[in-house]
Structure 1
Amino acid sequence: MTDERRPPARFNAARYCLAENARLRPDKTALVLAGASEAASLTFGEADRAVRAIAAGLLRLGLAPGDRVMIRMGNDADYVLVYFGALAAGLVALPSSPQLTPAEAAFLMDNSGARVVVASADCAVDRASLGERILLDAEAITAMKAGAPLADYADTAADDPATLVYTSGTTSRPKGVLHAHRSIYGRRPMHAHWLGLTEADVMLHAGTMNWTYTLGVGITDPWAAGATTVLYNGPRDPAVWPDLIARHRATLFAAVPSLYRQILKYADLAATDLTSLRHGVTAGEALPPDLLEAWTRATGKPLYEALGMSEISTYVSSGPTVPVLPGSPGKPQPGRRIAILPVDGAAEPLPPGETGLLAVHRTEPGLMLGYWNRPDEEAAVMRGAWFAGGDLARFDADGYLWFEGRNDDLMNAMGYRVSPNEVEGVLAEHPDVAEVGVAELSVRADIRVIAAFVVLNPGAAADAEALLDWCRARLAAYKCPREIRFLEALPRTANGKVQRKRLAEAATRGEPG
């Protein structure tokens, strides 16, 4: 008997999103890239041809199936086309943030073994670090789009690697999460049960293209359903989003909770036509109940939350089929096999009401293939038949999930997971720093920022701005601390390990703890 949750054995993610759309609705708008005053667009027919043309151009470079293509571009349409072009060719797309410093980008190039780097002029690339890699600029991609396209998408297996995304691990360096082509098929449960997505929808997503939240919810999901996606590459003014909803008649709007709060604060919602909007969706951060209530009161529109991660995307949500329960991200989407496991001991699911590790069954088609060249970390998250990524949670008697934090020290910065080890490693190299610990710091009831707690070398001045500048030169903006606190000593266990969870407490008291 076939498992309807799983795709066919031969499956190409780019074909799944584009080929049928190009056949059935070639003149329908697939992508709108909105600016401050103008917008550019692509139809499904144009997107399909451009993607297959880029795929052909990449293969002419001599690339072999599975070779990695790193994308270093800003928020423009070619980012999307190169991403799907790599998949269409049977290659592995490596989306990366334009905020990365040259050194951070060089690590990803080396760690992934990327054969090609596609970079726009506004994304710095350390040419000395390229080695024998092929560097393609915007002109090269334009030339590829003008060339002859592949006759058909690559005949890939559902389990063949398609995407490599980097996220913070438990070490000082990011780790690659490798996804198969089937991961896009594995997103199907969220279409009905979180997004309520249909062919008639217009999805406006507030994220940048490098983020898996944007690539997935903002582009892949609408295209898989034959819907239109709208992205924005103008100035980042929170007040622009209601205007974009009205201008493009968006039916769905996706953002992180903190942006919804900024919209409420800075935009004139009462003066904006939101009649096209059916509901908003949010992920990346927990949705505070007071924000949910304020948005619903101000707009009259539902706001549906989802919980996910780089390794599987969203799998727990509220939505059209699951009523919102403030404080909970919702229930497992139908068809998902989700459990709560003991932190230690046998991997046997716990009953409702007990807190443990949130786990996803290995048979889930949206689950990653594994961590790129990190067998130790991969083994650490696999518990028998389950993947447990470190989130602590519990189910209540009605099946709603309640998030209880992390079982490790990973931080959440605007929806990005950030390892304290990575930030600590950068600050530890500063000549004035003797010791450093990094952790999240609560600055408001629902706002947490990355903070660095520093012990200085004797005679060094407590110059917080100099340390922040040091970080800004070496880390992507979203990884940089927002606060520097100085301590006489770091709180440690009896074995000498830094107690990150006590850093904020020690700083408040002004003593080591």
Structure 2
Amino acid sequence: MQSLFDQGPFRPCPASFNMAAHVLAHADDLPDKVALSVVGKDGDVWTYAALKAAVLGTATGLRAQGLSAGDIVLMRLGNTVEFPIAYLACIAAGLIPVPTSSQLTEADVTKMIADLSPAAILHDPGVPCPQNPGCPLLETEALHAMRMLPPADFAMGDPDRLAYIIYTSGTSGKPRAVMHAHRAIWARQMMFEGWYGLRQSDRLLHAGAFNWTYTLGTGLMDPWTIGATALIPAQGAPASALPDLLAKHKATIFAAAPGVYRKMLSHAPDIHLPDLRHGLSAGEKLSETIREDWFTATDAALYEAYGMSECSTFISSSPSAPAHTGTLGRPQVGRRIALLGEDGAPVTLGEEGTIAVHKSDPGLMLGYLGAPEDTAEKFAGDWFLTGDRGTMDDEHYITYAGRNDDMMNAGGFRVSPLEVEAALARFPGITAVAATDVEVKADVRLIAAFYTSDHDLDETALKAFAEGTLARYKQPRLFKRLPTLPTNPNGKLSRRALRDQFKAKP
């Protein structure tokens, strides 16, 4: 049998569609229900009616600035409720928002501006951004005032048209702008049963910041789509505070990256959460140790999801289909997933192949902005190639077998080693450099930079240089000088050998 999952296509998206209208569809029948509560010190509470009014008022304000359908709007906002309001407002008005991490440097943003040619930038003064970007800067004070304006009409249209752009690091070392259609939000309904077990009565607490795409989707857009309540910790809340916040606010589902679960367990190995049904994990591989320790501490299961910026999550475990030990889970119903061999055909069950998504998936990207060749390289016939490898068993559960490329995971962010290496190569004295993520202790991975030079270099100076050229999550936490960098039989750098070497000689 072939390594192929296909139980029929997901139900089609309506012909006239707007992603923001879909997300806020329950605002009219649940106007007084709490849509969002920022939990912790000085937390805000937003009803569905207030949220919709703020979104559509902001949409009116953006149009009044001369922005029109199809214009690209770069978002340089902080970890506040302004982020999702502005994001949905842009989409409601037919604009194309580009949400970005506040950790990006001014140099990072300058490159994005050159790629995007945005019509405007939504800017929090505390977030790095060029002061003369060549387009209007709309500051948060102006965005706040827009909330009170009369509501705009939703810009309805073809569900296949461009809705938003997100950035992901590519194997070329240059972050790529991933274009998504309005229909991407429609496809996320496959996660409701296939991963979340989400109900309208749920109170879902996501540990991430407002301006992280994992939070934006799993923590906000999806609960609002079904009419549930989203809970987000107030800015600066440490992992040690999360157990109390979960208990106090009666969270029924908790979502976080594996590292957050690890930190919580280190602070409180026995966590009493009587309202919690289960937890969700994504962003990086969840270890069996964390899964088991969390269940011991809380008596609640963790369900993992695998995905990527180009298609969100599409393989997962769930309350209705718990993962077999050691597996990621199985493809969500409605997806068409295969493990392909070098000939582009599905491999036999049990054989290792490249995890691929059929091009008909409504959640699959439209392509990379301004990079048709890069887009074409990701496809083999009718299949989108993830670059990750795995095996599928006879019940369609997939075991992860590693990456084709050497992408790193840093706290849930995918980071290209080439980008890190390109920055560090400019440091005086370095003759060669390689970056990879290494396991420094059980379930703890960080980015390390291995370099060659005539002598040991000052680590404090190396770290300061990295801080000045790379976003915080891209900065190496470990620097190590080697006589030579390992290579494979073809003479190419072997980052896998570096990881293995580090394990052998910690």
**1:336/1:364 contact within 8 Å kept:** yes
Map of 1:85 onto structure 2: 89
Matched, 1:246 2:250: no
Amino acid of the residue matched to residue 464 of structure 2? D
Map of 2:457 onto structure 1: 462
Amino acid of the residue matched to residue 42 of structure 1? W
Tell me how far 1:497 sits from its aligned partner: 2.8
CA RMSD of aligned residues (A): 1.7
2-side partners of 1:248 and 1:14: how far apart?
Answer: 27
TM-score by length of 1: 0.94
Tell me how far 1:360 sits from its aligned partner: 0.5
Map of 1:174 onto structure 2: 175
| Offset from partner CA, 1:89-124 (integer Å, 9 cap, x none) | 111111100111111111112212221111112202
Amino acid of the residue matched to residue 379 of structure 2? M
**1:5/1:186 contact within 8 Å kept:** no
Larger deviation, residues 461-470 vs 326-335: 461-470
2-side partners of 1:509 and 1:315: how far apart?
Answer: 35
Amino acid of the residue matched to residue 254 of structure 1? A
2-side partners of 1:49 and 1:166: how far apart?
Answer: 29
**1:34/1:234 contact within 8 Å kept:** no
State the structure with bigger RCO (CA 8 A, min sep 6), 1 or 2.
2
Q: 1:102 aligns with which of 86, 103, 106?
A: 106
Tell me how far 1:495 sits from its aligned partner: 5.4
Matched, 1:16 2:22: yes
Map of 1:216 onto structure 2: 217
SS in 2 for 1:52: helix
Map of 1:325 onto structure 2: 324
Larger deviation, residues 397-406 vs 444-453: 444-453
Map of 1:440 onto structure 2: 437
Map of 1:417 onto structure 2: 414
| Offset from partner CA, 1:315-340 (integer Å, 9 cap, x none) | 11111210232321211111110000
Q: 2:471 aligns with which of 468, 476, 501?
A: 476
Amino acid of the residue matched to residue 434 of structure 1? T
1-side partners of 2:488 and 2:235: how far apart?
Answer: 48
Amino acid of the residue matched to residue 15 of structure 1? A
Quickly say closer, same or farther: Cα 1:213–1:75, change in 2 above 3 A.
Answer: same
Quickly say closer, same or farther: Cα 1:508–1:239, change in 2 above 3 A.
Answer: closer
Tell me how far 1:508 sits from its aligned partner: 7.6
Map of 2:363 onto structure 1: 366
2-side partners of 1:31 and 1:363: how far apart?
Answer: 33
Q: 2:34 aligns with which of 29, 34, 49?
A: 29
Map of 1:227 onto structure 2: 228
Map of 1:400 onto structure 2: 397
| Offset from partner CA, 1:68-101 (integer Å, 9 cap, x none) | 1111111111111000001001111111001111
Matched, 1:75 2:75: no
2-side partners of 1:72 and 1:192: how far apart?
Answer: 33
2-side partners of 1:503 and 1:235: how far apart?
Answer: 35
1-side partners of 2:371 and 2:212: how far apart?
Answer: 22
Tell me how far 1:418 sits from its aligned partner: 0.6
Larger deviation, residues 135-144 vs 56-65: 56-65
Q: Report 1:114-193 matches (<5 A).
A: 114-128=118-132, 130-131=133-134, 133-150=135-152, 152-193=153-194
**2:209/2:235 contact within 8 Å kept:** no
Tell me how far 1:175 sits from its aligned partner: 0.4
Amino acid of the residue matched to residue 447 of structure 2? I
Tell me how far 1:159 sits from its aligned partner: 0.7
Tell me how far 1:39 sits from its aligned partner: 1.6
Q: 1:7 aligns with which of 13, 17, 23?
A: 13
2-side partners of 1:214 and 1:504: how far apart?
Answer: 30
Matched, 1:289 2:288: yes
1-side partners of 2:317 and 2:500: how far apart?
Answer: 35
**2:439/2:503 contact within 8 Å kept:** no
2-side partners of 1:372 and 1:195: how far apart?
Answer: 31
Tell me how far 1:445 sits from its aligned partner: 3.4
Q: Report 1:261-410 matches (<5 A).
A: 261-267=262-268, 269-270=270-271, 272=272, 274-342=273-341, 344-345=342-343, 347-410=344-407
Q: 1:449 aligns with which of 446, 449, 468?
A: 446
2-side partners of 1:33 and 1:120: how far apart?
Answer: 19
| Offset from partner CA, 1:259-282 (integer Å, 9 cap, x none) | 111111113644x4x111111111
2-side partners of 1:26 and 1:508: how far apart?
Answer: 55
1-side partners of 2:102 and 2:457: how far apart?
Answer: 31
Larger deviation, residues 280-289 vs 56-65: 56-65
| Offset from partner CA, 1:163-190 (integer Å, 9 cap, x none) | 1110100122200111100000001111
Amino acid of the residue matched to residue 113 of structure 1? S
SS in 2 for 1:429: coil
Quickly say closer, same or farther: Cα 1:439–1:3, change in 2 above 3 A.
Answer: closer
Map of 1:52 onto structure 2: 56
Amino acid of the residue matched to residue 363 of structure 1? S
Quickly say closer, same or farther: Cα 1:362–1:508, change in 2 above 3 A.
Answer: closer
Tell me how far 1:500 sits from its aligned partner: 2.1
Tell me how far 1:461 sits from its aligned partner: 4.4
**1:159/1:181 contact within 8 Å kept:** yes
2-side partners of 1:268 and 1:45: how far apart?
Answer: 40
**2:38/2:231 contact within 8 Å kept:** yes
Matched, 1:255 2:256: yes
1-side partners of 2:332 and 2:365: how far apart?
Answer: 18
2-side partners of 1:482 and 1:74: how far apart?
Answer: 24
Amino acid of the residue matched to residue 261 of structure 2? Y
2-side partners of 1:147 and 1:407: how far apart?
Answer: 50
1-side partners of 2:208 and 2:431: how far apart?
Answer: 37
**2:456/2:481 contact within 8 Å kept:** no
1-side partners of 2:121 and 2:175: how far apart?
Answer: 18
Quickly say closer, same or farther: Cα 1:504–1:331, change in 2 above 3 A.
Answer: closer
1-side partners of 2:245 and 2:105: how far apart?
Answer: 31
**1:242/1:269 contact within 8 Å kept:** no
Quickly say closer, same or farther: Cα 1:465–1:275, change in 2 above 3 A.
Answer: same
Task: Please list every run of 5 or more consecutive structure 1 residues that lacks an aligned counterpart in the other structure.
Answer: none
Quickly say closer, same or farther: Cα 1:407–1:4, change in 2 above 3 A.
Answer: closer
**2:10/2:335 contact within 8 Å kept:** no
Tell me how far 1:507 sits from its aligned partner: 6.3
**1:358/1:393 contact within 8 Å kept:** yes
SS in 2 for 1:253: strand
Amino acid of the residue matched to residue 111 of structure 2? F
